[in-house]
Amino acid sequence: IHSKMLADAILIVAISICTALLSEGLSYVLLYRTEDYKRLKGVVEKQSKRLERKREVVGEGLARPSGQKKKLEKQEEQLKNYNRDLTMVRMKSMVVIGFTFTALLGMFNSIFDGRVVAKLPFVPFSLLQGISHRNLMGSDFTDCSFIFLYILCTMAIRENIQKFFGFGVSRTASKLGSNLVGPSK
C-alpha cells in the first residue's frame, strides 16, 4: 500500500508541476507580454526603489521636516495607485486561470476521490483537517487527501517557477507594497 501512496504522491507532484507551467504559460500569453503590464511593472519597480531610497534618506524618526514627510506620503500614494492599476491589469488573466484550474481541479479530484495519497507526519489543526482529510474514510487525520497535497505542491512550485522565469514582483516592490495598506501616521 505504501508503494501505491508513493506513486500517487509523485503523480500529484508531476500534476502540480504541469499545472503550474500551464498557469505561467497562460499568464505569459494573457499578461506578462502585454505593454500595459510591462509599463506598470517597470513603474512600480522604479517607484519602489525611489521610495525606499527616500525613506533611507529621510529616516523613520519623528523629527522629519513636514515638507519631506508630505513628499514621502505623496510618493507612497502614487505607489499605491500604480499597484492598484497593476492589480487591475492582472485581473483578466487571473479570472481565466481561475476558471481553467477549477475545471482541472474537479477532474483530478474525481480521479483521486477517497484515496489516501500520503501520510502526514503530524495531525493538522482542526481548521485544516477538512481539507487534509477531504473525502477520506476513517478517523486517522494523518491520512492526506489529493486536494491538500495538490494545494501545497502547487503553491510551492508555482512561486519557484515565477522566480525562475522572472515573472514575480521584486522583493523591494512586494515589501513596500505590503507596507502601504494604510497611510502611516
- 57-99 residue pLDDT tens: 766 555 456 777 788 888 889 999 999 999 999 998 899 889 8
Cell of 72: 514621502
| Residue 147 pLDDT | 93
Q: Is 138 left (phi over 0), alpha (psi -120 to 50) or beta?
A: left
Pairing of strands 143-144, 118-119: antiparallel
In the predicted model, what is the mean pLDDT of residues 135-157?
Answer: 92
pLDDT at 179 over 80: no
| Residue 9 pLDDT | 92
Q: Work out the percent of the chain whose per-residue pLDDT is above 70.
A: 85
How many C-beta atoms surround the C-beta of residue 146 within 10 A?
27
Residue with cell string 505593454 = 35
State how far the alpha carbon of 91 is from the alpha carbons of 25, 94, 104, in Å.
Answer: 16, 5, 20
Q: Are 116 and 143 in contact (CB under 8 A)?
A: yes
